[in-house]
Amino acid sequence: MRTRRHATGFTLLEVLVALAVVAIALLAAMRASGGLQDNAQRYHQAVLAQQCAENFLVEQRLTRNFLPVGQSTSTCTEAGTSFTLDVDVQPTPNPNFRRVDVQVQQASGWTAWNVVTIIGNL
């Protein structure tokens, strides 16, 4: 009597389906890691922009410069990255205080940070 040997292993179709599943999983992982990298870059830019805004406001307080009402633009460089500061100074009901709105933008025009504070004429 002859016995039949059954072939063991995977069929070509099973291997192709497994490769397709692995490829889809790898694509999803790459897309997720790319998103994390973009978020990390934006966070880094926001921290640098915040530092620019805070440096500007601290400088105004230390020099005791009472900003005139109106809008102005200046530049700031942090860690080799250039930013544009758009400063909008508005009066308050008390003439000894000014409302200062500092908007920090990257060269691309993306607003990386915005801070509003009150500066007094002390």
For the chain, what's the residue count?
122
| Sites in the chain below the pLDDT cut of 50 | none
Q: Which two tokens stand for residue 116?
A: 């509003």
Q: Does domain 12-120 have CATH number 3.30.1300.30?
A: yes
pLDDT on residue 2: 64
Q: How far apart are CA 51 and CA 62, in angstroms?
A: 16
pTM for this entry: 0.67
Hey, where are the domains in the chain?
A: 12-120
Residue 63: per-residue pLDDT: 87
